[in-house]
Amino acid sequence: MNKLNIKEANEHLKQLHRRVIELENQVHMHALHSQELEKTNAELRARLEAAELSRQRELEAKDAQNAELVSRLGEGEARVDVLLRAAEERDRLVEDLEVKARLFYEVVEHRAALGRIVEVLDEIHKQKRASEKASPASPAKLNGERLDESNRTSPADSNGTQSPPYLESPHVNSIT
């Protein structure tokens, strides 16, 4: 081997050695960079897990809040239904009372005439009782029926006399 070949071989070995050192440095740098990436990756995973946990807690809180709102809504709807039924019942009552009030006012308008009709009916009743006492054989007694009005219990009026049966209704007494 001549000197030139040895020199070239040495030169080549130096370049190889430099290249090996460069590659080792690159591998070392890649290892450091890889460690940094793994560390960053671990930090990001921890943040992601924390964010996921936080999001899960927020969702649970929102679900609980929604459940409470749904419950309150159901209670409110039930209360509205109760109030609507009560309002409908009051409306029916008001309608009934309006009809009764109209009838009452009509009766009040005709009170004098109704009072006169009651007096006439009372006269007819008195005459009927007087005629029954005068004639013992009435058609009802001939048929075997008993129409003894004097045995009937009727409320006494202010004069102490018994009211005729048609006046025993509480509606008629409230008119006079």
Which of 62-71, 127-136, 146-155, 157-166 has the least mean pLDDT? 146-155
81-103 b/e (C-beta count within 10 Å ≥ 16 → b):
eeeeeeeeeeeeeeeeeeeeeee
Number of domains present in the structure of the chain: 1
Does a structural domain hold residue 153?
yes
Q: What mean pLDDT is predicted for residues 140-163? A: 48
CB atoms within 10 A of CB 164: 21
DSSP 96-135: HHHHHHHHHHHHHHTHHHHHHHHHHHHHHHHHHHHHHHH-
* pLDDT band for position 112 (cuts 50, 70, 90): confident
Token code pair at residue 80: 């509205």
Does a structural domain hold residue 137?
yes
Residue 97 sits at φ, ψ, to 5 deg, of -65, -35
Does a structural domain hold residue 62?
no
Q: What is the DSSP letter of 168?
A: -
Does a structural domain hold residue 31?
no
Does a structural domain hold residue 130?
yes
How high is the pLDDT of residue 163?
55
* pLDDT band for position 154 (cuts 50, 70, 90): very low
Rounded Cα distance, 99 and 93, in Å: 10
Does a structural domain hold residue 85?
no
Does a structural domain hold residue 75?
no
Does a structural domain hold residue 129?
yes
Residue 132, domain extent: 110-176
What is the model's pTM?
Answer: 0.41
Rounded Cα distance, 57 and 50, in Å: 10
Rounded Cα distance, 108 and 138, in Å: 39
Token code pair at residue 101: 């009030």
